[in-house]
Amino acid sequence: MRMEKALWPHSELKNHVKLARFTSWRVGGPAERLFQPSSKEDLVGFLAALPEREPLTLLGLGSNVLVRDGGVPGTVILTSGLRRLFLEQGRIYVEAGVPCAHVARFCLEHGLSGGEFLAGIPGSFGGALAMNAGAFGGETWDWVEEVETADRHGKVYRRSRCEYQVGYRNVQGPAGECFLAAWLRFAPGDPEAGRWRIRHLLTQRYKTQPMGWPSCGSVFKNPEGEKAGRLIEVCGLKGKRIGLAKISEVHANFILNLGGAQAADIEALICLAQAEVQVRFGIRLEPEVKILGVGGRNETD
């Protein structure tokens, strides 16, 4: 596939780029092509020129994905260049590539309350929109009034909250569109109280979640009325290793890369946890993490 770079002079299109450095697990094979737009306008222009049959994957900060060792076919778009964040008529406008933690800080700087939970989400806001990411009891779509999206042909839409069905780690809306930005409305609040709440919430997280090794955060969604980590722990899987990947001994819903793990090792632990929980409790754990690409060294025909 050939694309005319002159159309996006400040953006980058490269072939065969390893994705491991773009994911929080630090694993994964190459993207066949990697496009890094420097603006929303460049992204929309790129989509308009992209061949209809080209496989397309969007990647934010890579905090909730497992890229397989064989890499991702087609084009991967890295949205981290979409970083505009400002206050507009009492609402926050935030583009897809802005880290969620930056939105939490922006709320405090402008005397707005309710966004503190975003400090606990390690990904980009586009990813948070796509899965209704949450932390500390708060969820992304609780504060969304409108979103801006684009389809595969580069057509841009402005859609209201009511056009989406939103649930726990699940968002359903018009098919074939990706999130470019959102308008959020928060209530006025006390910035100092907000700072205290963020410090308190992060302190609690540091006490209960593993730190120091690459991970994606929670691997599985919590089944209704249950905690995925508790189910995995009861199955005796805390500390279980495959290769250089390990189920955390601090929190069983975390899988750690101990340094040099393969994506296949991590995926094998995911499958093991699912199988053990299914046998013991009759519950099928649903991954919260999105698995991308094709298999690598452990793939069999």
Among residues 91, 159, 169, 205, which one is catalytic? 169
What count of Cα atoms within 13 Å lies in the side-chain half-sphere of residue 75? 22
Question: Quick one: DSSP state of residue 260?
Answer: S
218 is catalytic: yes
227 touches 268 (CB < 8 A): no
Beta bridge partners of 66: 291
Q: Do residues 67 and 263 make contact, with C-beta atoms less than 8 angstroms apart?
A: yes
Residue from 215, 218, 248, 267 carrying the catalytic annotation: 218
Two tokens, residue 131: 């899965």
Using DSSP's 3-state secondary structure scheme, residue 14 falls into: strand
Strands, E, within 131-237: which ranges?
Answer: 134-135, 138-139, 144-151, 156-160, 165-167, 170-172, 177-184, 187-188
Residues annotated as catalytic (active site), given as ranges: 169, 218, 288
